Structures are given as structure tokens and as C-alpha cells.
Amino acid sequence: MGRVVAVANQKGGVAKTTTTHSLGAGLAELGERVLLVDLDPQACLTFSLGIDADGLDRSLHDVLAGRAEAAEVVVKSGDLALLPATIDLAGAEVHLMSRTGREHVLARALKPVVGEYDTVLIDCPPSLGVLTINGLTAAAEVVVPMQCETLGHRGVGQLLETIGDVRSFTNPDLTVRGLVATMFDSRTRHSRELLADLEERYGVPVLGDPIPKSVRFAEAPGRGRSILTHAPRSAGAEAYRAIARLLHEENT
């Protein structure tokens, strides 16, 4: 059975999609079979893999609505498999609200395909709505990307409260694997102080070294690449590779 990891933070702009894509690429480099799940109606992960969401006949929305099986919707991008999103996924939230067991719809949809992969990474939307709850309910673990700044701290606290609720009601075995410090600027005292405070404040480990700010991260999605192929020798690529190795070693 494949490992299912949700990448979540309800605060936008914290490099959540970049983290999902980069960790997936890093695990694929290590020989893992990886499925990425784009649970965000903005479809940024789908775009980042070089896939035109507007040109897709079917997407994750069709899977959640019961019109297609996950295996029928999966597309390939290089060494990665993807359950893609389209803007139609925004309507899935309304549709799910009226369904019995709505928090478990994604978990049920993924069950037939999880065994085909070593790792499934779910890119959750920047909210604490029913789609994110579905992602957390389907996962065994959560990785939380966060920017080392004050509002980022506040967002992590809110997310951990939601994870506590998910444990109580839908997924008692859900664990927080760790935090990924993103867009880190080592030149600022503020960033360094917040990074130093993370583990003590939340009791959650920080995975690897912080991911440094770099324009390379902004360039990569437009080329349909991860940072690992766009700038393979960059500090950011190496930082994500180190975290991927950590996750891989736990999975073997």
C-alpha cells in the first residue's frame, strides 16, 4: 500500500504547490512511483507539470462527482503521475457538502490506485474547507510548508487545530510528519528567529534545511518543470532533494 501524504496550509503563497511538485520529483529521482493529486481548483500543480487544464476532458472533479474512476483520469508528466484539477473542482465543494460521508470521498476514490504507487502526494487548497478536509482524511501524514514570517506562524497554529479535529472525527491515525520552511531569507534576523522557534512552539519537527528564496522557483512552473530539473544544482533543488531522501528512507 502506498504512502499517502497531504501537503497542506490554509495560508496561500507559502510554496505549497512548489513543495508538492519538488518532493514528488525528488522521490521519483530515487526510483519511487509517485502520484500527485491536485486538490486545488486553481490547478496550479497541474499547470506546473506542463498540463493545460483547459484542454482536459476529465479531472479530479469527475472522480469526486462519481463520474469517473481515478485510474481513468490519471495523466503522465515525465516520471510523475497526476490526478489533475480544473476550475470545475470549485463546484465539487458545493456538491460534496450535500453528500453523506463527504469527508471520505477522496479516500474512497484513491483506494483502488494507491497500491500502484510508493507515494501519493496531495496538494491541498489554501483553505480549511471540505476539499482540504478530504485531503487530510485520505492521508496518513501531513507535511506543512510555511514561510518564516509572523502570519505564517498564525496559519500553522490554525491548521494544527484543524488536524486535531480531523483526528477526532474522520482520521484518528493522521500524523504531522513535519514542517518545511520555505522562501527563507537567511539575511534577515526575523526569519532566523522564527525558524529557531518553530519546533519548540509547535512540537513538530522541521524537515531538512530551510528552502531559500530564489527566482528559479518562479521560473520553473512556466516551463512545466520542477526546480529539480529547471535548476538542478541550485540550493533550493538540493534542499528539496534532502527532504525527499528523508521521506524515501522512511518508506523503504
CATH no. for residue 189? 3.40.50.300
Which residue segment(s) compose the domain that 216 sits in?
3-250
Whether the full predicted model's pTM is greater than 0.85, yes or no, is yes
DSSP-derived secondary structure letter, 102: G
Q: What is the pLDDT of residue 198?
A: 77
DSSP-derived secondary structure letter, 136: H
Ramachandran assignment for 118, one of left (phi > 0), alpha (psi -120 to 50 degrees), beta (any other): alpha
Q: Tell me which amino acid residue 66 is.
A: G
Whether 150 has a pLDDT exceeding 70, the answer reads no
Per-residue pLDDT, averaged over 169-188, amounts to 89
pLDDT tens, residue by residue, 98-146: 777 899 999 999 999 999 999 999 999 998 889 999 999 999 999 999 8
Scanning the structure block, which residue is given the C-alpha cell 480549511? 128
Instruction: Tell me how far apart the alpha carbons of residues 226 and 220 are, in angstroms, rounded to a whole number.
Output: 6
| Full 3-state SS string of 195-246 | HHHHHHHHCCCECCCCCECCHHHHHHHHHCCCHHHHCCCCHHHHHHHHHHHH
Domain count, the chain: 1
pLDDT tens, residue by residue, 2-48: 899 999 998 888 999 999 999 999 999 999 999 999 999 999 999 99
